[in-house]
A and B are shown apart, each in its own frame.
Chain A
Amino acid sequence: MNHPDAAAKYIADKDRARWHDKSLWFVRQKRDKMASSLPEWEELRDAASKIKAHMISNMEQYLLEFEKNAQANGIKIHWAMDAKEHNEIVHSLLKSHDVKKLVKSKSMLTEECHLNPYLEERGIEVVDTDLGERIVQLREERPSHIVMPAIHTKREEISDLFHEKMGTEKGNIDPDYLTYQARMDLRERFLASDAGLTGVNFAVAETGSIVVCTNEGNADLGTSLPKLHIASMGMEKIIPKMSDLAIFTRLLARSATGQPITTYTSQFNGPREGGEMHVVIVNNGRTEVMGQPEFRRSLSCIRCGACMNTCPVYRRSGGHSYSYIVPGPIGSILGPSRNSKEHSSLPFACTLCASCTNVCPVKIDLHDELLAMRKKIAAKNELPISKRLAMKVAGKVFSSPTLYKVAGKFARKALKMPRFMIYNQFNDWGKDRDLPEPPKKSFKEMMQERNKENGK
């Protein structure tokens, strides 16, 4: 479904849309408070952005360095060209270890690869252990936000869900109670698991280590109880040196949730005694993005979600209105750069206000990329018919001075018509907002009068 249609469904419940907007804005404010508490904030962003650009331009060298050092630490490295190969590798590892139950911590890459259904079809029980992910898993939904997967759900809904699935008290909506019940339930699942799968926030070439950041401690439990640890890694997660981690760990949580650092910043340097550790390095279209200069910087993303929290369109339309698994500004680049036809409406779910660019901790030029993506989609003739016609008409009007003058006059008159003739079902621009008071004269007329007065 395209974004406007999906969003229309979402905002039909006005109270919920308003509540969602407020929740996300609250997170944005927490981020601002943290960012302004560091005098070197802008220098950190600048350094992060440059390290990522350096990494992208030397990715082959750093991936090979990572592979060599990780192998020396006893980590087994696998390479997957696409989602299918990633899923096959994970499955074969699980199968060869006779794994029946897998615990997972948050990984957007496995969402991108649709790993869960793939494994479930093959008889493996998959438990998402991040509380937000667990909620959406039990609701049989996808995450609506990359950091706060269940930000769209209300506590009453979670209470009902837990009552049905875990037998919690009916009607108890206390977050402390609900979290505690989930803790107890998931603890048993951790203890019963045969393998743990994590994502990768950063992979350090210099040391052959991976870093996983969580607030709940679920990645650490999932890799300390079962013997087998598999980490799914997008290839752009590589960074050159361990000292670079100082920059990224300072930026990540401050940008994401307004915390000074995530509760757990866990650096896995190798398998634990008697255990096995595997890292699957995944391409899945990333090198294609790399080859397009105008979208290349999107590969710098550290998945903090700050661009979503600030986006006026995301806040009001909710994550499920976006057709790609990563919603919001960054997802509206990542999605169409993989499949521009399927996600053609996403770059237009944007006011080009550039707030996302202003908060991005790695300084991705998000709004510029969104604009470039619109051009690409138009050039490929993948715009919806309504936009194509509108653009054609606009093109005609703007290229003819006479037509433009007439259209301007008409518009200034039209806006003075009685309310019911302007604010009705045919005018999308009049929904939930008042159109501006029309000026009496056009800019050209005003300039002409001014020049006359000045005697020119």
Chain B
Amino acid sequence: MSSRDKILASIRENQPENVPAPAVDFKKITFEDTINEFSKTLEAVGGMARIVPRNEKLENYYEISPDAKVLSAITEIENRNVEPENIENEHDMKDIDYACFDVELAVAENGSFLTHCEDFKFRSVYFLAQHLIVRVKKSKILNNMHEAYAELAKMKRGPLTAFISGPSKTTDIEQCLVIGAHGARSLQVLIVED
């Protein structure tokens, strides 16, 4: 008997009688102004949100340090200076200072955005780049995770789907919050009109 069969047999032997699944029909939190709530929450988790008015140039709303190596899937980011075709493997991403890309949606209650990690040929850049700049449409800022997963259910999903809330962080040294653990050390979210 394989371990698989042994485990399944053991489950059958010990499994209690069916408990029905609950209906998740309670009222979930919503906000009068999701954009404001998202910005506030993002700041609380260490990120930065900027609202870009219609007809304004994107470049006035993000900051990229001079001499930085910038890989961007957003064509309006004119500082981009790394050609994706020149990258041969995941390891080459280690020198990228800024990675810029559009995201599917964002969530007001926790300041996160959703990405399929498929803007570039190699996914390590989402986690190796020193800084992230992402762009999201106003109408894609949702209230809560229930709405977010309902949207995600409709999307085609690749190997990795990630909700990212702020830059990477740790409190492992005496509960002191340090921004920049392994992943990005800063995050700017540009909120644009549809």
CA–CA, A149 and B29, complex, Å: 33
Name the contact of B2 in the complex, choosing from A57, A79, A190, A245 (C-beta under 8 A): A79
CA–CA, A246 and B91, complex, Å: 33
Residue B68 at the A interface, CB < 8 A? no
A296–B16 CB distance below 8 A: yes
CA–CA, A25 and B125, complex, Å: 37
Q: Which of B136-194 contact A (CB under 8 A)?
A: 144-146, 148-150, 152-153, 157-176, 178, 180-184
CA–CA, A235 and B7, complex, Å: 10
B169–A215 CB distance below 8 A: yes
B168–A270 CB distance below 8 A: no
Residue B79 at the A interface, CB < 8 A? no
- Say which one of B56-64, B69-77, B105-113 lies at the interface with A: B105-113
A26–B175 CB distance below 8 A: yes
Name the contact of A269 in the complex, choosing from B44, B158, B173, B174 (C-beta under 8 A): B158
B183–A154 CB distance below 8 A: no
Residue B27 at the A interface, CB < 8 A? yes
Question: Assuming A247-B24, A263-B183, is B16 touching A220 (CB within 8 A)?
Answer: no
Minimal beta-carbon separation of A30 from chain B (angstroms)? 10
A261–B163 CB distance below 8 A: yes
Name the contact of B160 in the complex, choosing from A23, A60, A268 (C-beta under 8 A): A268
CA–CA, A245 and B157, complex, Å: 16
What per-residue 1/0 map shows which CB atoms of A240-264 lie under 8 Å from chain B?
Answer: 1011011101100000010111111
Residue B6 at the A interface, CB < 8 A? yes
Residue A221 at the B interface, CB < 8 A? yes
Number of inter-chain CB pairs below 8 Å = 248
Minimal beta-carbon separation of B31 from chain A (angstroms)? 12
A220–B4 CB distance below 8 A: no
Residue B65 at the A interface, CB < 8 A? no
Minimal beta-carbon separation of B190 from chain A (angstroms)? 19
Residue B66 at the A interface, CB < 8 A? no
Minimal beta-carbon separation of B146 from chain A (angstroms)? 4
Count of interface residues, chain A, beta-carbon cutoff 8 Å: 93
Least CB separation from A133: chain B residue: B172
A242–B153 CB distance below 8 A: yes
Find chain B residues with CB under 8 A from A175 CB: 173-174, 176, 178
Residue A308 at the B interface, CB < 8 A? no
Name the contact of A263 in the complex, choosing from B7, B94, B168 (C-beta under 8 A): B168
Name the contact of A218 in the complex, choosing from B12, B22, B176, B181 (C-beta under 8 A): B181
Q: Which of A374-407 contact B (CB under 8 A)?
A: none
A293–B182 CB distance below 8 A: no
Question: Assuming A242-B149, A250-B145, is B160 touching A54 (CB within 8 A)?
Answer: no
B112–A261 CB distance below 8 A: yes
Find chain B residues with CB under 8 A from A39 CB: 27, 29
A60–B169 CB distance below 8 A: no
Find chain B residues with CB under 8 A from A263 CB: 45, 164-169, 183
Find chain A residues with CB under 8 A from B174 CB: 23, 153-155, 175
Minimal beta-carbon separation of A291 from chain B (angstroms)? 3
Find chain B residues with CB under 8 A from A40 CB: 26-29
Residue A65 at the B interface, CB < 8 A? no
CA–CA, A215 and B167, complex, Å: 9
Residue B32 at the A interface, CB < 8 A? no
CA–CA, A54 and B22, complex, Å: 8
Name the contact of B15 in the complex, choosing from A240, A261, A290 (C-beta under 8 A): A290
Q: Which of A201-258 contact B (CB under 8 A)?
A: 207, 209, 215-218, 220-221, 223-225, 235, 240, 242-243, 245-247, 249-250, 257
CA–CA, A296 and B15, complex, Å: 10
B7–A183 CB distance below 8 A: no
Residue B80 at the A interface, CB < 8 A? no
Residue A333 at the B interface, CB < 8 A? no
Residue A350 at the B interface, CB < 8 A? no
Q: Given A155-B174, A221-B183, list of 20 further CB < 8 A pairs?
A: A40-B27, A51-B21, A56-B15, A57-B16, A58-B18, A79-B7, A81-B3, A129-B182, A175-B178, A224-B126, A225-B124, A245-B145, A249-B163, A260-B109, A261-B145, A265-B164, A266-B162, A266-B163, A281-B7, A287-B14
Which 3 residue pairs of A and B lie closest in terms of their CB atoms, listed nearest first? A217-B183, A291-B14, A216-B181
Residue positions of A touching B, CB distance < 8 A: 23, 26-27, 38-40, 43, 46-47, 50-51, 53-54, 56-60, 63-64, 79-81, 85, 129-132, 135, 148-151, 153-155, 158, 175-176, 178-180, 183, 186-187, 190-191, 207, 209, 215-218, 220-221, 223-225, 235, 240, 242-243, 245-247, 249-250, 257, 259-273, 275, 277, 281, 283, 287-288, 290-291, 293, 296
